[in-house]
A = this chain, B = another copy of it.
């Protein structure tokens, strides 16, 4: 077994900090918002910049066109008989409403205590660069492993073209294992390796009852109110106080967590007040730690993200809206099938209000794998060496479409070795990342690459 020279690794990390921060800053200041077509040019600019980083690190870089935004590939080649790892990250980001941020979301700021502020710092540009620096070190050290970087620009919109793109490059990429760094720890002192993810079915429900907004004095009482009708539909889809989804058949295929999983969850000593604090939540639907883990990891949801229509300025404007749209999604767990859930929703809504148009926005299958075996063991040791903390194996509540695609295309071990903390604020205003997580991440991933090169 090749053991990494930890003194050289430590020096490499210290010497890399400046470059890491410069590159992260440049990447963050390109607003690669995949959900909004206005940022199309920025996405392409971001991909080009990322490719230049790969080249500068000594990898072969490649920009793969898709029907949507491109994929950036990077190849660190070792000898032919060495194993191959694919390292996945994404470089697109969530939208950001500047008014909710304390600093401009696309202005990179480094604080004195080593915090990196800006949209995309923790999700997922910071972890992507940490993995890149780790790979550079492993490559320089001659660790016998082929490393294939796969950087996506459409993760935040559900990876619509990812599977076709990796399929087209599969002969070249075909890995023996996969590393994904896009998940979150339990807390700063509790690293986590994620072996399950929820799926997603996002949809819009639209109701148009008039050509234009009308005066509620003139037509109120006779005119239909599409916002009020959508409220009724939503309240018949979800009991918001318990979170119980009322769509008929919704829970039919939900697979219960195993007794072993439940035991593991208990051993986590999950801290409810830290969870609330990290996510800024004042109160929850339930207060028990076990219930919260089940609700966020093992149970499906129905969420209302926004209701468009009518007047949302200051005060009250007494119009009857002519149109309303609800943006909703459901997080799904094994063995729920997203398209089937969409059909259940459509049928359910048609029974409540046949005028409501339900349209599918995106789907992602749930993901669940084993949390044992040599790769899991290598990850456990690598994180212990990288951070001096023993990691736990958990399920996650989020969804990563690419994981599902890679799992179906390449039936090899996948390890979700995240570097983000709950307080970093995935998808939230004032998102940040930090050097302790970045540097520990470089160290962990370098150790991981070294270990699995021997498997």
Contact = CB atoms under 8 A, between A and B. Distances in A.
Nearest to A308: B312
Contacts of A225: 238, 240, 303-304
Interface in A201-229: 202-204, 208-225, 227-229
Kindly name the residue among A37, A286, A316 whose own CB sees the greatest number of chain B CB atoms within 10 A.
Answer: A316
A233 to B, nearest CB: 8
A302 B302 CA distance: 27
Contacts of A227: 304-307
B229 A240 contact: yes
Interface stretch (A24-32, A320-328, A370-378): A320-328
A320 B306 contact: no
Nearest to A307: B307
A301 interface: yes
A224 B292 CA distance: 12
Interface string A288-312: 0001100110011111111111111
Interface stretch (A48-56, A391-399, A402-410): A391-399
B220 A36 contact: no
A281 interface: yes
Interface residues of A, number: 101
B214 A280 contact: yes
A412 B37 CA distance: 61
Kindly name the residue among A213, A214, A307 whose own CB sees the greatest number of chain B CB atoms within 10 A.
Answer: A307
Nearest to A226: B240
Given A95-B313, A229-B241, A216 B329 contact: yes
Interface stretch (A73-81, A260-268, A421-429, A438-446): A421-429
A220 B331 contact: yes
B100 A283 contact: no
Contacts of A2: none
A172 B317 CA distance: 34
Contacts of A239: 232
A314 interface: yes
B304 A327 contact: no
Given A229-B241, A428-B213, A305 B279 contact: no
A368 interface: no
Given A209-B281, A317-B95, A318-B329, A217 B397 contact: yes
A177 interface: no
A418 to B, nearest CB: 12
A430 to B, nearest CB: 8
Interface string A152-193: 000001000000000000000000000000001000000000
Contact of A303 (B202, B228, B427): B228
A342 to B, nearest CB: 13
A243 interface: yes
A231 B231 contact: yes
Nearest to A286: B222
18 contacts: A36-B313, A95-B317, A209-B282, A212-B425, A214-B281, A215-B279, A217-B331, A218-B396, A220-B303, A221-B299, A223-B285, A224-B281, A225-B303, A228-B240, A230-B231, A232-B235, A283-B355, A305-B311
Given A35-B313, A214-B281, 4 more contacts: A157-B315, A217-B426, A219-B397, A241-B353
Interface of A: 35-37, 94-95, 100, 157, 184, 198, 200, 202-204, 208-225, 227-232, 234-236, 238-241, 243, 275, 279-286, 291-292, 295-296, 299-322, 327-329, 331, 353, 355, 361-362, 396-399, 422, 425-430
